[in-house]
């Protein structure tokens, strides 16, 4: 017993010393320029505020100009630069980087945050859904990163922050396009860290769990959309499974200052990642059990439905249970228009997969 106590004290003391050392070597970000993709709402909006409070000059991008106008008013950051850009389009990304360089002279910190969430069983997914997820959350990370690497290498300084997901560590059912793209982004981020660290460039891979940003209201749902929205919305909003987005933003900025290689946010995400690392086969079996509880296997409606109009159809009890996530939706710009999402017509790159038709399989 005495040995166990001594071991526990040693581990605790080592952890405290390590944390103090990491905080001691934290960089001062004042005067540096940060570019945040997907910065008009949710976590991106909060990160813009946190970096501004750290003394950074801030540029944010998003596809929707009206959302950028709303973000500018919500943030009220002096000198904030907003750029309309679809990060899945390499040409637009190049133009955005040129605009930020012209306005601020350089980009010291890149935060790849843009994302899209499609929820539904595999039988309801089309090939185009996977391609769209990869376009936004993989190529939307690669394009901006390649766009800033040369200038960072020349200066032998720079920070790249890739917001991935616990879905990039273990793949959850009914989130396959999202998880596949996040796995790709996580692999890119981890490999990039190893390749550029000798050039003075720090790459931080951020693995968030669920956060209370109200993202369920702007996600897309397929299959039995009300059932899909209910399980995802509850998981996304209840305190036991999700964390406050403000806390996540603070922890990310601190990790960037320290130059951490990876940070996992929220205790459920940390436990899930560690359990999966130790018992991958058991995790896969457990996720199969979870899948059986989510939906009957014949839910194949492939129509994309946005979360907000689905939320309006729920019972008052469910709406009240999700209220923790609905309040941040207003505060962090996640108040999407109550309209259905436009359909995705066919594969974006002209790729065909023999025998797979998704919703009609």
Q: What is the pLDDT, as a whole number, of residue 345?
A: 41
Measured in whole angstroms, the distance separating CA 304 from the mean position of its chain's CA atoms is 20
Look at residue 220 and tell me if it is in a domain: no
Characterize 174-191 residue by residue with b for buried, 16 or more Cβ atoms within 10 angstroms of its Cβ, and e for exposed.
bbbbbbbbbbbbbebbbe
Q: What is the pLDDT, as a whole number, of residue 242?
A: 84
Look at residue 178 and tell me if it is in a domain: yes
Look at residue 350 and tell me if it is in a domain: no
Look at residue 280 and tell me if it is in a domain: no
Q: What is the CATH number of the domain that holds 63?
A: 3.40.50.720
Q: What is the pLDDT, as a whole number, of residue 331?
A: 55
Q: What is the pLDDT, as a whole number, of residue 236?
A: 81
Look at residue 297 and tell me if it is in a domain: no
State yes or no: is 178 an active-site residue.
Answer: yes
Catalytic residue among 138, 178, 220, 332: 178
Q: What is the enclosing helix (H) or strand (E) of 59?
A: strand 57-62
Q: What is the pLDDT, as a whole number, of residue 178?
A: 96
Classify 115 as helix, strand or coil.
coil
Number of domain units in the chain: 1
Among residues 106, 133, 90, the alpha carbon closest in space to that of 32 is found at 106
Low-confidence ranges of the chain (pLDDT < 70): 1-25, 295-301, 324-361
Residue span of the structural domain in which 131 resides = 28-213+241-274
Look at residue 263 and tell me if it is in a domain: yes
Look at residue 163 and tell me if it is in a domain: yes
Would you say 140 and 88 are in contact if contact means Cβ atoms under 8 Å apart?
A: yes
Q: What is the pLDDT, as a whole number, of residue 353?
A: 40
Q: What is the pLDDT, as a whole number, of residue 301?
A: 67
Look at residue 96 and tell me if it is in a domain: yes
């Amino acid at each position: 017993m005495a040995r166990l106590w001594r071991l526990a004290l040693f581990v605790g003391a080592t952890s405290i010393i390590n944390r103090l050392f990491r905080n001691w070597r934290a960089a001062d970000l004042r005067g540096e320029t940060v570019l945040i993709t997907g910065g008009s709402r949710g976590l991106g909006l909060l990160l813009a505020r946190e970096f501004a409070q750290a003394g950074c000059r801030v540029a944010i991008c998003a596809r929707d100009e009206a959302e950028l106008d709303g973000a500018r008013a919500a943030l009220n950051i002096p000198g904030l630069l907003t750029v309309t850009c679809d990060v899945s389009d390499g040409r637009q990304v190049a133009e955005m980087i040129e605009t930020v360089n012209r306005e601020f002279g350089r980009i010291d910190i890149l935060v790849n945050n843009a994302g899209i969430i499609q929820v539904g069983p595999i039988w309801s997914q089309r090939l185009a859904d996977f391609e769209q997820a990869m376009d936004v959350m993989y190529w939307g990370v690669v394009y901006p990163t390649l766009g800033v690497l040369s200038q960072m290498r020349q200066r032998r300084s720079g920070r790249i922050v890739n917001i991935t997901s616990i879905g990039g560590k273990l793949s959850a059912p009914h989130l396959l396009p999202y998880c596949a793209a996040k796995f790709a982004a996580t692999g890119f981020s981890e490999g990039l860290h190893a390749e550029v660290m000798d050039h003075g460039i720090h790459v931080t891979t951020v693995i968030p769990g669920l956060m209370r940003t109200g993202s369920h209201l702007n996600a897309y749902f397929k299959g039995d959309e009300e059932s899909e929205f209910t399980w995802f919305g509850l998981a996304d909003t209840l305190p036991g499974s999700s964390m406050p987005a403000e806390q996540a933003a603070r922890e990310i900025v601190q990790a960037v200052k320290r130059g951490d290689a990876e940070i996992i946010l929220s205790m459920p995400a940390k436990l899930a990642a560690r359990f999966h690392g130790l018992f991958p086969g058991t995790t896969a079996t457990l996720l199969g059990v979870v899948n059986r509880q989510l939906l009957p296997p014949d839910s194949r409606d492939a129509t994309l439905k946005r979360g907000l109009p689905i939320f309006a159809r729920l019972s008052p009890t469910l709406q009240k249970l999700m209220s923790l996530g609905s309040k941040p939706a207003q505060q962090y710009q996640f108040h999407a228009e109550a309209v259905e999402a436009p359909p995705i017509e066919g594969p974006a790159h002209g790729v065909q997969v023999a025998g797979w038709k998704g919703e009609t399989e």
